[in-house]
Structure 1
Amino acid sequence: MKDKVEIAKKYITQGYNAVFVLKTVKISRSTYYYNLSAEGKEKAKSKGGKPRGYSLNKENKKICDELIKEFIIESIDGDAINYGYRKITYHLRKYYNLIINPKKVYRLCKELNVLKEQRVIKPKVKRTIAANRIVTGSNQLWEMDIKYGYIQGQDKFFYLLNLIDIFDRSIIDYHMGYHCEAKDAAALLRKCLMRRNLFEDGAKKPVIRTDNGPQFVSYKFSECCEKVKVEHERIPVKTPNKNAHVESFHRILEDECLKINEFQTYADAYESVNEFMIRYNNRRMHSSLGFMSPNEFYTLHFGENLTGIEIRV
């Protein structure tokens, strides 16, 4: 019997299927694992330490580590497919009645090379509170925020992420889609810098002001701001007046585009929003801009600091 156990052990450790090997050498699974457990116990005794190589189940029966490893593999192939070692511990306790601690499960999982990759904990994004500012020219302070639209025909909402220059009131660019994530906000910021020829390292960059939405508090957006050397500040919670210019634009967008149209498809919504953006930037007059359109005002006063016009935010 000992010879058969040794033969089985040889082939199993080489990677052959344990069930197939045990059937071939004609020994039962319990006999094989009992012999392994006994062997482990003898080795532990010879060292003068505590017997190792097994755990107890709730019936006080010894279950050797090799069998527990099989349980782990069975679990991962089944319900525990995406579990870490802690959840696997509770899985073994619940479904295999084992009395086992997480440290041992961690060791066995490490031997099997089935440990999940550890989640990298990213540092918290540093929050800069929006400061009181006096804006005297374009490209000094930009505001960014999200507006939601509704497609009646598809019963779906869409996102509009808009970036406005608070001095000339231009919507420099916008993102529209069924989703709006940090990567979309980062992409929009880059596009706006390129549109205003501010992407180069030597250019004086604007401050970007946002609320505390998940897109803006994310590590990805913070990383983008650092790379393009733009200062990002966030308004305090429940103070939309600190983002007043983009909020005011959203009211105009609601009254003159979203509210008066019942969109049947996303294509309809996109076409209407695009037409509104072109009209807003190029033809819609603002009394605060001397009854000029945003692009007309920006072109007229490009690169100037107008001491006669001060916007306090």
Structure 2
Amino acid sequence: MPRSTYYYQENGRVEEKKVSEGRPAPGYSIKKDGKKISDEQIKEWLLEEIAGDGFGYGYRKLTKQLRRKYHLIINKKKVYRLCKELDILRPQRQKRISYPRKLARNRVITASNQLWETDIKYGFIEGEQRFFFVCSFIDVFDRSIIDYHIGLSCSGQDVKQTLQRALLKRKQVDKKERPVIRSDNGPQFISHAFERGCQEFQTEHERIPPKTPNMNAHIELFHRILEDDCFSRFQFETYEEAYKEVAWFMKFYNERRMHSSILDLSPKEFYEKQGTLVIKEVRV
């Protein structure tokens, strides 16, 4: 018999076999140019693909699509795992969601608290080699970041709680007409937890069609500002450092940063004075 079939014995007792659990998932993939892309961003891309041209693709073809379109270095096993987490593998794709999807429509916004946009931004912590998440709600009219979530994860429940805080801050809980919430088709925004929250808070939730970020332009612009004026200025070594800098920037943006579309005032100044100021209506 080969030696490999024997158990190692010491003092007459057989040592328990120790099985390696393998390398933990890093939480990101790398593009050909070396840029790290979080798994949450890849999940959004996968959802966009199956909602568009890749509606009939399995995980193998989705892997090819990610490599060609986004230049990701990724294998089919990881794409299978992400598809399984999203519950979008072919056998399950016919499963009906109990919450009907409401497509975003063109609107004319004339005052605050009529339309809020939301999205998630990913930042990277170099010292810990992991991503953190910032989910923000912006008022389209006055450009204020009403509330936000910062964390090492971001679930549908986290987004629901952030929306609840935003409604309380703006005293919209008891209003008859509450803000419409507009988002993309990210996994957090199509989750049952967030949809149940919107029903509980009696707010209308609409989602933009795939590949139309211009319909969510205000939150996309804010996240570009967050990237240029905050993320790119620092190389975060710890999550605590990232949290501190982002929280400071949110306060600075709302209270002191001038915004050209609201008469070079800060969002807070404009919100407090909007009854006496006149700007163009916002078409979205």
Q: Provide the secondary structure at the position in 2 that maps to 1:186.
A: helix
Whole-Å Cα distance in 2 between the matches of residues 243 and 250 of structure 1? 11
Quote how far apart the aligned CAs of 1:308 are. 4.8
What letter matches 1:181 in structure 2? S
Out of 132, 136, 146, the residue aligned to residue 162 of structure 1 is: 136
Residue of structure 1 equivalent to 2:107: 133
Q: Does 1:270 align with 2:243?
A: yes
Q: Does 1:311 align with 2:270?
A: no
Deviation, 1:146, is 0.2
CA contact (8 A) 2:132 2:153 kept: yes
| Matching residue within 89, 114, 117 for 1:143 | 117
Give the TM-score, by structure 2 length: 0.65
Query: Does residue 1:236 correspond to 2:209, yes or no?
Result: yes
* Relative contact order higher in (CA < 8 Å, ≥ 6 apart): 2
Contact between 2:122 and 2:132, CA under 8 Å: does it hold in 1?
Answer: yes
SS of the residue corresponding to residue 144 of structure 1 reads strand
SS at match of 2:189: helix
Selected match of 1:258 from 231, 238, 242: 231
> CA–CA distance in 1 between the matches of 2:209 and 2:247?
31
Q: Tell me how far apart the structure 1 counterparts of residues 104 and 253 of structure 2 sit (CA, whole Å).
A: 27
Aligned partner letter, 1:280 = Y
Secondary structure at the counterpart of residue 142 of structure 1: strand
Q: What are the superposed Cα offsets for residues 21-57 of structure 1, whole Å, 9 maximum, x if unpaired?
A: xxxxxxxxxxxxxxxxxxxxxxxxxxxxxxxxxxxxx
Matching residue of 1:174: 148
Q: Alpha-carbon deviation of 1:232? A: 0.3
Tell whether the 8 Å contact from 2:108 to 2:281 is kept in structure 1 after alignment. Answer: yes
Deviation at 1:122, TM superposition (A): 7.6
Q: Which amino acid is the alignment partner of residue 212 of structure 2?
A: T
- Tell me the secondary structure at the aligned position of residue 242 of structure 1: helix
Contact 1:125/1:218 (CA < 8 Å) preserved in 2?
no
Which structure has more helix as a fraction of its residues? Answer: 1
Amino acid paired to 1:310:
E
Could you report, residue by residue, the CA deviation over 1:223-271 in whole angstroms, capped at 9, with x for unpaired residues? 1111111000000001101000000000000000001100111110011
8 A contact 1:159–1:179 mirrored in 2: yes
Partner Cα distance (2:244, 2:278) in 1: 39
Shift of residue 190 of structure 1?
0.4
Structure 2 residue 187 is matched with structure 1 residue 214: yes
Query: Following the alignment from structure 1 to structure 2, what is the Cα–Cα distance between the partners of residues 307 and 236?
Result: 32
Q: Is the 8 A contact 2:118 2:138 kept in 1?
A: yes
- Is residue 2:259 matched to residue 1:286? yes
Q: Does 1:124 align with 2:98?
A: yes
Take 1:284 and 1:261, find their aligned partners in 2: how far apart are those partners? 19
Aligned counterpart, 1:75: none
**TM-score using structure 1 length:** 0.59
Deviations, residues 132-184 of structure 1 (Å, cap 9, x unaligned): 00000000000000000011111110000011001000000100101100100
SS at match of 2:233: coil
Unaligned 5+ runs, structure 1: 1-120
Q: CA RMSD in A?
A: 1.6
Contact 1:136 1:310 in 2 (8 A): yes
CA distance in 2, matches of 1:234, 1:160: 19
Aligned residue for 1:161, secondary structure, equals strand
2:262·2:279 contact (CA, 8 Å) conserved in 1? no
Within the candidate set 147, 168, 176, 1:194 is matched to 168
Aligned AA (1:166):
V
SS in 1 for 2:162: helix
Larger radius of gyration: 1
1:295 and 2:265 matched = no
SS in 2 for 1:127: coil
Aligned partner of residue 242 in structure 2, secondary structure: helix
Identity level (%): 51
